[in-house]
Amino acid sequence: MPTITTNDLKTGITLEIDNDLLQVVDFQHVKPGKGPAFVRTTLRNVRAGTTVDRTFRAGEKVERVNIDKREMQFLYREGDDYVFMDTETYDQRPVPTTSLGDSVDYLVENSNVVLMLFGEEIIGTDLPASVELTIADTEPGMQGDRVSGATKPATLETGLVVQVPLFVGPGETIKVDTRSGTYQSRA
């Protein structure tokens, strides 16, 4: 694995520290008036999903991990596993829900997804900023529901519940922000 210094850190880089895979979420290079410079970071444990704040000395060496990204098609769900097919080799592989994290709320059958791999271990997904999902169930809008900014809960085809405006009804396709899990617009 290549070694880099903490001065080369960028958001999104994955590091191996104490046998954990940690992705840089945020970093700040600090040069105080007295004493040596240091780098303050926020790191996300890729496997566990937890975040950790850690401070490094400026110029300290860390191990950078190369993450491969491979496009796969989500075929179906089998128990607690999600079955994906590699679009190049057509090999099928089951992926446990724990490896996918919150991205399972945005996976629709036959959709293409970019999976992040460390060796052969799937450590997460690289979702687009927004996805289009169909509303499975919500209360229909009533005549006179004209209050500006009012929302109601809607259950999407994946089981995710989001707040939508009153005028959106069942069967409609909407755009959902994958970073915050909120309604953006009609599709």
Same CATH topology for 68-126 and 130-186: the answer is: yes
Closest CA to 150 of 137, 161, 141: 141
Q: Which residues contact 44 (CB under 8 A, 6 or more apart)?
A: 22, 23, 25, 50, 51, 52
Architecture of the domain made up of 130-186:
Beta Barrel (2.40)
pLDDT at 173 over 70: yes
Predicted confidence at residue 40, as pLDDT, reads: 92
Domain boundaries, the chain: 3-64, 68-126, 130-186
Q: Which residue has the higher pLDDT, 121 or 85?
A: 85
Neighbours of 78 (CB within 10 A): 9
pLDDT at 182 over 70: yes
**Arithmetic mean of pLDDT over the chain:** 85
Sheet with 51-57: list strands edge to edge: 3-5, 61-64, 14-17, 20-30, 38-45, 51-57
> What are 2-51's pLDDT values in tens digits?
888 888 888 888 888 888 888 888 889 888 888 888 999 998 888 777 88
Closest CA to 133 of 96, 163, 175: 175
Inter-residue contact 133 to 106 (CB < 8 Å) = yes
Strands (E), the chain: 3-5, 14-17, 20-30, 38-45, 51-57, 61-64, 68-78, 81-86, 92-96, 112-118, 121-126, 130-138, 151-156, 161-165, 173-177, 182-186
131-137: average pLDDT: 89
Sheet with 151-156: list strands edge to edge: 161-165, 151-156, 130-138, 173-177, 182-186
3-state DSSP assignment of residue 111: coil
Q: Which residue has the tokens 């997904």?
A: 125
What is 68-126's CATH topology?
A: OB fold (Dihydrolipoamide Acetyltransferase, E2P) (2.40.50)
Reply yes or no on domain 3-64 having CATH 2.30.30.30: yes
Predicted confidence at residue 127, as pLDDT, reads: 82
How far is residue 180's CA from residue 174's CA, in Å, rounded to a whole number?
Answer: 15
Q: Which residue has the higher pLDDT, 99 or 182?
A: 182
Inter-residue contact 39 to 6 (CB < 8 Å) = yes
Predicted confidence at residue 165, as pLDDT, reads: 86
Predicted confidence at residue 48, as pLDDT, reads: 75
Q: Which two tokens stand for residue 42?
A: 């926020």
> What are 56-65's pLDDT values in tens digits?
888 889 888 8
